[in-house]
Chain A
Amino acid sequence: MGSLFENMQGVPLNHYIWFCAIIFTIGVIGVLVRRNAIIIFMSVELMLNAVNLLLAAFSVHHNDPSGQVFVFFIMALAAAEVAIGLSIIVMVYRNTQSIDINVLNRLKW
């Protein structure tokens, strides 16, 4: 494992930032483009993961373990969020027979 990392020493931090920005943007595009509520949830997961990876990279950069502890907390939070969100989706499906989020547009008013 140690020798694996030694091969990695050369990647600039910039490239981690660009990569995570691209993944985050893909998540945003997914939220904007799709109407299936479950796929919107998956896009939110993608965004969370991009931020997690960036936090881990910065924690290595600053040699500070707090960043990785934060990633651990975000993962616990994501698990809770997915459980609640999917149960809300199940309830919406039970009431409307559809998971198209457009049927929820009355929430606007």
Chain B
Amino acid sequence: MGTSVFYFVATLSVFFALMVVFAKNPIHSVLYLILTFFTFTVHYILLNAQFLAVVNFIVYMGAIMVLFLFVLMLLNLNKQNEPNKSTLLRVIGVIAGGCLAVTLIGSLKSVAIADPLVLKNPSLGLVENLGKELFGPFMLPFELSSLLLLSAMVGAVLLTKKEEKTNG
């Protein structure tokens, strides 16, 4: 079977990503996004980055998607009430994106790193190796990211709190 797994999963992720953008119902978009993230998890497993696969599975498919679904259902947006952009604007958007894709791929074509991906160190993406890296040279950024998460939590609570009516 060789490398065909990669191409199969890549096709699936491109298809699901397109469905995320072009689905009419926002709920369907979220569900397709979950499938897209699942295919990305498979990509990480194929790269033997097991830690990233597990983190992707838990953080994206667990936390972030539940957040999206909760917000969609709290706002009661499951009906299609999005006013359509004019067809001209849509076509212009797709053309602009296509230009970006052509530019990216064309400019990266000249780089031509065509050697096949070879894993020199099979334990590269395992938890032990990454943990040593994370708590060694990356200690300070790691602690700072915990601070970032704390401030995001406080900010989210502060933003969504109902404002007190001040009578004055």
Contacts and interface: CB of A to CB of B under 8 A. Distances in A.
25 contacts: A4-B45, A4-B46, A4-B48, A11-B3, A14-B113, A30-B21, A32-B96, A34-B21, A38-B71, A38-B72, A39-B20, A43-B20, A56-B44, A68-B130, A72-B134, A73-B141, A75-B56, A76-B148, A76-B149, A77-B145, A82-B68, A83-B156, A90-B74, A90-B75, A100-B83
B104 A36 contact: no
A14 B26 CA distance: 34
B2 A10 contact: yes
Given A4-B46, A9-B119, A25-B98, A80 B56 contact: no
A2 B133 contact: no
A14 B114 contact: yes
A19 B92 CA distance: 23
Size category, A interface: 35 or more
A60 B124 contact: yes
A8 B44 contact: no
A105 interface: no
Interface residues of B, number: 91
A63 B120 CA distance: 6
Interface string A23-58: 111111110111110110111011001001100110
Interface string A76-107: 11111111101111110100001110100000
A89 B156 CA distance: 11
Q: Which of B96, B118, B121, B151 has the most CB of A within 10 A?
A: B118
Given A11-B117, A53-B40, A84-B156, A21 B17 contact: no
Interface in B39-55: 40, 43-52, 55
A62 B88 CA distance: 44
